[in-house]
Amino acid sequence: VNRFSLNHATTKYWNQTEAIHACARHDVGIGLWREPVAEAGLAATAKLIRDAGVTVTSLCRGGFLTSGEQAALDDNRRAIDEAAALGAAELVLVCGGIPDGSRDVDGARAAVADALAELAPYAGQCGVRLAVEPLHPMFAADRCVISTLDQALQLAEMFPAEQVGVVVDTYHSWWDPQVYQGIAAAGAAGRIACFQVADWITPLPAGVLTGRGQLGDGCVELRRFRIAVDAAGYTGPIEVEIFNDQLWARPGPDVFAETLQRFAEHVA
């Protein structure tokens, strides 16, 4: 169980300080989000984390790099700084969709590679790895033009392994007939930066963002993923990241306890 990490988005409306203290009590890690960190204050959060002895397994998130705008690069440099300040070794990137009015998916993908070329050396200097997350293809238009683990890996491999890795996420990749080969390849290349788990349930809600399933509620072979990621040589934390309106409506401690139990049943 000590590979468990609570991605704070699973308990989105649970006060971040309380969530950090709960993770400390359970000796598990936490994945933080920039907005609540900013709200609590970056330095204060970093001190709280150090005092609590909790590992920040990732910071979510940078990215949105497809517009080619300087402001996006600047914002990602700030995200790298924040990850470094929090002692988070991995900054998760949601790379961005197709810019408004464009139909150029190849161009958007090329813009991601160009932006990574700008950002990767800086991340490396800061001791932070950029973790490229392939998002489910239903997000390709508006959130992330990187849809498969293979794509993410090809992108990452343009840069040194200590600068750019990939995220394996069961929710985004379970449907992919190539995913287990991709996990093996990413592991062999030392590129698995982050492993996130959530289940897939239907029907999807409008907007499809907040329809992820609690572990065990859906059709994903979560344990098969975990075994594959282990077999690929990954020994790091396993973040549970579930965007779900019903979970968000419940008290954070309840959801945290349930998620720990489901993790033991369905992942560990």
The phi, psi pair for 49, rounded to 5°, reads -60, -45
Q: Which amino acid is at 208?
A: V
Residue 139 CB coordination number (10 Å)? 18
157-167: string of b/e by CB count within 10 Å (b at 16+)? eebeeebbbbb
Residue that the structure tokens 């998130």 belong to: 61
61 binds its own copies (CB under 8 A): no
Q: Of 8-16, 146-154, 190-198, 255-263, which segment contacts its own copies by CB under 8 A?
A: 146-154
174 binds its own copies (CB under 8 A): yes
Q: Which two tokens stand for residue 104?
A: 């150029």
64 binds its own copies (CB under 8 A): no
Q: Of 101-109, 163-171, 241-249, 257-265, which segment contacts its own copies by CB under 8 A?
A: 101-109
d(C-alpha 251, C-alpha 12), whole Å: 10
Which of 127, 190, 205, 251 binds its own copies (CB under 8 A)? It is 205
* Shortest spacing between CB 168 and its own copies, in angstroms: 16
Spatial CB neighbours of 257, under 8 Å, sequence gap ≥ 6:
none
Residues 105-144 that bind its own copies (CB under 8 A): 105, 109, 136-138, 140-142
Which of 66, 147, 170, 244 binds its own copies (CB under 8 A)? It is 147
Q: Which amino acid is at 135?
A: L
29 binds its own copies (CB under 8 A): no
71 binds its own copies (CB under 8 A): no
CB nearer to its own copies: pick between 70 and 202: 202
SS3 at position 14: coil
53 binds its own copies (CB under 8 A): no
Q: Which two tokens stand for residue 41?
A: 């204050």
> Which positions touch its own copies (CB under 8 A)?
98, 102-105, 109, 136-138, 140-142, 145, 147-148, 150-151, 174-177, 200-208, 218-221
